[in-house]
Amino acid sequence: MAAEQTKNICLTSRFEEALIYAVRLHKSQTRKGTEIPYIAHLLGVAALVLEDGGGEDDAVAALLHDAVEDQGGLETLEEIRARFGRRVATIVEGLTDTYVKPKPPWRKRKLQYITHLKNATDEVRQVSLADKLHNARAILATLREEGDNTWNRFTGGKAGTLWYYRTLVTVFRQGGSDFMSEELERVVSQIEELTAP
């Protein structure tokens, strides 16, 4: 998506600071239904963004993309703005589907997020796509190991999760073709094949 932005980016101490900040924010959090530290997901998303040509701000936003939703709401967003600048905060804000606890109903949040993505900036779409691709790969790996038990981890269950990811593929593919959207489509198709009756 953003390959034209930068080719040879040099990560500075800002990226290191964001990584440390993300580790501190998510230190007690694990991936759904696993003992995998949550930071593994954030690193995976940042790696995909960098591989797609994103710049340092995009990679920092990738590290922090769940910080507001999972770790403090608007207060955390303001801290991100103060530490990492308006551009990073704007991307993170565009990736956040709720600021409140408890979270609103799952389907309503996902519908709003899909609608938002259709008109989101390229930077928000890039980080979102990296996030969804990393998540879809994890779902596929878990399905291969655990079968249908995988769906017990997800609020949307099997039907809702399959609907959400297929809809995301459609939204991202409307923006054109690139390695991440093509890979997301491949992974989602494999998930659908594994869950077909």
Q: How many helices (H) and strands (E) does the chain have?
A: 10, 0
Q: Of 17, 70, 122, 183, which residue is the catalytic one?
A: 70
Residue bearing tokens 């997301």: 184
Cα(69)–Cα(97) distance, rounded to whole angstroms? 7
- Name residue 169's amino acid: V
Coil, strand or helix: which one is 37? strand
Q: Is 97 a catalytic residue?
A: no
CA distance 45 to 49: 6
- Helices 13-25 and 56-63 pack at an angle, to 10 degrees, of 10
Q: Is 183 a catalytic residue?
A: no
Residue 92 CB: number of other CB atoms within 10 A? 26
| Active-site residue, from 52, 66, 69, 185 | 69
Between CA 156 and CA 107 the distance in angstroms is 7
Q: Which of 183, 90, 91 is nearest to 135 (CA)?
A: 183
Q: Which residues are registered as beta bridge partners of 181?
A: none
Active site residues: 69-70
